[in-house]
Chain A
Amino acid sequence: MAIITAKDLSFAYDGKTVLEGVNFALSVGDYLCVVGENGSGKSTLVKGLLGLKAPDGGSIVFGEGLKPTEIGYLPQQTALQRDFPASVREVVLSGCLNGLGRRLHYGPAERERARMNMERMGIEELADTSYQALSGGQQQRVLLARALCATKKLLLLDEPVTGLDPIATGEMYNLIKLVNLCDSITVVMVSHDIHAAVRYATHILHLGQRQLYFGTAADYKESAPARRFLGGSRL
């Protein structure tokens, strides 16, 4: 059974359709890269999957016991977050909020979960450091650890390597792949970087205000949308 199924999905702002004809299904452990130019509807699809924007038509169905509030989301960084006084531990711990239910405060189980995910991302020794003092790559690893606290099944990453230097970018991609392979966590990643997309992902979804391609990454390399996207050169 699929963990996410999108069927004839479309989105509109003020009655104007911005994305339509989206059909895809992902199984547990799949790694989907969503590619497309600016304004192609990638961010809208992310909002739709998170339940922050209601679809104009069609449906999103979650399977395998995944609840819509258990998606590990890594948002694009905002200027607000960068100068926010918060320790790494506080940020990671806030990912455990959806597991609290009716409880008001974090308990030992949440603290342990946060510690484990910091260890997994290699940021355990930074736990008491201020988030704003970290490098871009370290900040993204903190946000990935927070996302992992929020989910056991699905990560949704919105441009996770934007603004990172090549070394930090490579590290980030490897960490995401590691989590995908070792823990069978399904990954949905929005990206500009089409070369990395076909290298790491198992599936590609190419958007251009409608669905231009959905299928495996291997087939995508030979497809017409990929060639057009790259202006004739081959992947």
Chain B
Amino acid sequence: MSELARMFSYHFMQRALIVGVLVSLCAALLGVSLVLKRYSMIGDGLSHVGFGALAVASAFHLAPLAAAVPVVVLAAILLLRMSQSSRLKGDALIALVSSSALAVGVISVSLTTGMNTEVSSYMFGSVLSLSRSDAILSVLLSLAVLLLFAAFYPRLFAVTFDESFARATGTRAARYNTLLAVLTAVTVVLGMRMMGALLISSLIIFPALSAMRVCRSFRSVILCAACVSVGCFLAGLVASYFLSTPTGASIVIANLLVFGLCSLLGMRNIH
């Protein structure tokens, strides 16, 4: 217990804790809608775009978070539009965009600084190296995501459950799909600091899938996903402190274990 108290007496740990809990909440809430709308791959694609943007930003010595957020938001809107209307299939398109962005990132890294710790932290995450200004920006943005999600909850439910009914009764579904994409983009960029580009999509998808195994109403799935997400973040953070494992990967493993547990519970409920 005193070990835990000492762990959270460090400033970088407190920052990691606050930002991590908020970003985990955002990811869980949005994840439920994304999984149900079959948009899971968008989160994955956006993380690669985010890596490209961060790499280019650091090559030009720009503030990484502030530069990456607008780029990834634009990419999210673009991916959503193209996946709905284009002749190219949505998932193929996302694969194209994400690998291209990754390539741009890798080239800009190799032309400038080379593979240093900063680049590696974008790939695999380093929640403990958050600067004070990054932390403040992360807190503000994730609070905005949470507030917007809560405010439009009934409308987001309607366009997630049955888009054609929502449109027929006058809900501007395209507007709320865009909102969902923008919120996801912001969450992905914030989460990348913590989880890394390669692992962030698991933060979005795992809690939703785990919750859907055991809960049967939309509200309970959302609440359960939020608890799973925050719980797994805390477990991963503590494990990484005591076992010296990477934080992002530890969080994913915690999520994997919970998912297995929920799957077992869910199977028992059905039979």
Binding site for B on A (CB under 8 A): 50-52, 67-71, 73, 75, 78, 80-81, 84-87, 90-91, 93-95, 97-98, 100, 104-106, 128-130, 132-133, 146, 150, 156
Contact = CB atoms under 8 A, between A and B. Distances in A.
Interface of B: 36, 38, 151-155, 157-158, 161-162, 164-171, 212, 215-221
Nearest to A151: B169
A85 B209 CA distance: 11
Given A90-B157, A104-B151, A104-B154, A85 B218 contact: yes
Contacts of B170: 67-69, 98
Given A94-B154, A105-B153, A105-B154, A86 B161 contact: yes
Contact of B168 (A73, A78, A85, A104): A73
A223 B118 CA distance: 78
B169 A95 contact: yes
A87 B218 contact: yes
A98 B154 CA distance: 11
Given A69-B170, A75-B164, A97-B169, A130 B216 contact: yes
Does more than half of chain B's interface fall in helix, strand or loop, or is it mixed? helix
Contact of B169 (A69, A78, A90, A105): A69
23 contacts: A52-B168, A73-B169, A75-B164, A85-B215, A85-B217, A86-B217, A90-B218, A90-B219, A94-B154, A94-B157, A94-B161, A94-B165, A95-B165, A97-B155, A97-B166, A97-B169, A98-B171, A100-B154, A104-B154, A105-B154, A128-B217, A129-B216, A146-B165
B162 A90 contact: no
A207 B166 CA distance: 27
A91 B161 contact: yes
A221 to B, nearest CB: 32
B162 A75 contact: yes
Given A68-B170, A71-B169, A85-B218, 10 more contacts: A73-B168, A81-B161, A84-B218, A87-B216, A87-B217, A90-B218, A104-B154, A130-B216, A132-B216, A156-B168
A72 to B, nearest CB: 8
A84 B171 contact: no
Contacts of A104: 151-152, 154
Contacts of B164: 52, 73, 75
B158 A97 contact: yes
Nearest to B157: A94
